[in-house]
Chains A and B, each alone.
Chain A
Amino acid sequence: MSNTISLQEAAIYQEHDAPHVEHQHHETFITKYVFSQDHKMIAKQFLITGMIWAVIGGLFSVLFRLQLGYPESTFPWLEDLLGHWAKGGKIQPEFYYALVTMHGTILVFFVLTAGLSGTFANFLIPLQIGARDMASPLLNMLSYWFFFLASIIMFSSLFVQTGPASGGWTIYPPLSALGDASSGSKIGMDLWLTSMAMFIVSSLLGGLNYISTILNLRTKGMSMTRMPLTIWALFFTAVLGVLSFPVLLSGAILLLFDRNLGTSFFLSDIVVNGKILPNEGGSAILFQHLFWFLGHPEVYIILLPAMGMSSEIISVNSRKPIFGYMAMVGSLFAIAILAFLVWAHHMFVTGLNPFLGSFFVLLTLLIAVPSAIKVFNWLTTLWRANIRFTPAMLFAIGFVSFFISGGLTGIFLGNSALDIHLHDTYFVVAHFHIVMGVASFFGMFAGVYHWFPKMYGRYLNNTLAFIHFWVTIIGAYLIFWPMHYEGLAGMPRRYYDFSGWESFKMFAGLNQFISVISMIVFAAQIIFIFNFIYSIFKGRRVTTTNPWGANTLEWTTPIRPGHGNWVGEIPEVHRGAYDYGKDGREFIPQTEPVGENESHH
Chain B
Amino acid sequence: MSTAAVQQGTKWWSGGKSPFNASYGKVMMWYFLMSDAFTFGAFLISYGTIRFSQNHWVDPNHVFNSFPFAGHANLPLAFVSLMTFILIASSVTMVLAVHEGHKMNKAGVEKYMLWTILGGICFLGCQAWEWTHLLTGQHEVLVNGQLEYWNTTVAHNPFGPEVMFNGKEVATPGPIAFGSYFFEITGFHGFHVFSGIIINIVMFIKTKMNHFGQRGHYEMIEKAGLYWHFVDLVWVFVFLCFYLI
Contact = CB atoms under 8 A, between A and B. Distances in A.
A–B proximity contact (CB within 8 A): yes
Interface of A: 1-2, 4-6, 9, 13, 129-130, 135-136, 139, 204, 207-209, 211-213, 215-226, 242-247, 249-251, 253-254, 257, 261-265, 278-283, 286, 289-290, 293, 573
B69 interface: no
B154 A263 contact: yes
A241 to B, nearest CB: 9
Contacts of B19: 215-216
A129 B9 CA distance: 23
B219 to A, nearest CB: 14
Nearest to B54: A281
Contacts of A264: 155, 176-177, 180
Nearest to B42: A250
Contact of A222 (B15, B25, B42, B177): B15
Interface string B1-32: 10001100101011111111011110110011
Nearest to B38: A246
Contact of B155 (A222, A253, A263, A290): A263
B74 interface: no
A243 B38 contact: yes
A262 B154 contact: yes
Nearest to A278: B155
A216 to B, nearest CB: 4
Contact of A283 (B23, B24, B32, B50): B50
Contacts, number: 149
B198 to A, nearest CB: 17
Nearest to B156: A278
Given A4-B1, A219-B16, A264-B155, A243 B27 contact: no
**What's the dominant secondary structure at chain A's contact region?**
helix
Contact of A223 (B1, B14, B39, B43): B14
B178 to A, nearest CB: 9
19 contacts: A4-B1, A135-B24, A135-B25, A136-B24, A207-B35, A208-B35, A212-B24, A220-B16, A221-B16, A223-B14, A246-B42, A249-B42, A257-B180, A257-B184, A263-B180, A264-B176, A265-B184, A278-B155, A278-B156
Contacts of A13: 16
B166 interface: no
Contact of B35 (A246, A262, A283, A289): A246
B146 interface: no
B36 interface: yes
A139 B31 CA distance: 14
B35 A218 contact: no
B155 A262 contact: yes
A280 B46 CA distance: 15
B39 A250 contact: yes
Contacts of A279: 176
B27 A247 contact: no
Contacts of B49: 283, 286, 289
B214 interface: no
Given A135-B28, A212-B31, A221-B14, 14 more contacts: A5-B1, A129-B15, A136-B24, A215-B24, A216-B23, A220-B15, A223-B11, A223-B14, A223-B15, A250-B43, A257-B154, A264-B177, A278-B176, A286-B46
A247 B24 contact: no
A209 B28 contact: yes
A6 to B, nearest CB: 8
Contacts of B28: 135-136, 139, 208-209, 211-212
Contacts of A207: 31, 35
Contact of B39 (A208, A225, A246, A282): A246
Given A250-B43, A263-B176, A264-B176, A244 B38 contact: yes
Contacts of B25: 135-136
B175 interface: yes
Nearest to B46: A286
A215 B27 contact: yes
A225 B11 CA distance: 13
5 closest pairs, A vs B, by CB?
A220-B16, A250-B42, A263-B180, A222-B15, A135-B24
B42 A212 contact: no
A220 B16 CA distance: 4
B34 interface: yes
Interface string B34-60: 111011011100100110011000000
B50 A215 contact: no
Contact of B180 (A4, A246, A265, A573): A265
B40 to A, nearest CB: 8
B50 A251 contact: no
Contacts of A226: 15
Interface in B142-201: 154-156, 175-177, 180-181, 184, 188
Interface string B115-139: 0000000000000000000000000
A264 B180 CA distance: 7
A150 to B, nearest CB: 17
B159 to A, nearest CB: 13
Nearest to B27: A212
A243 B35 contact: yes
Nearest to A262: B155
A573 B16 CA distance: 10
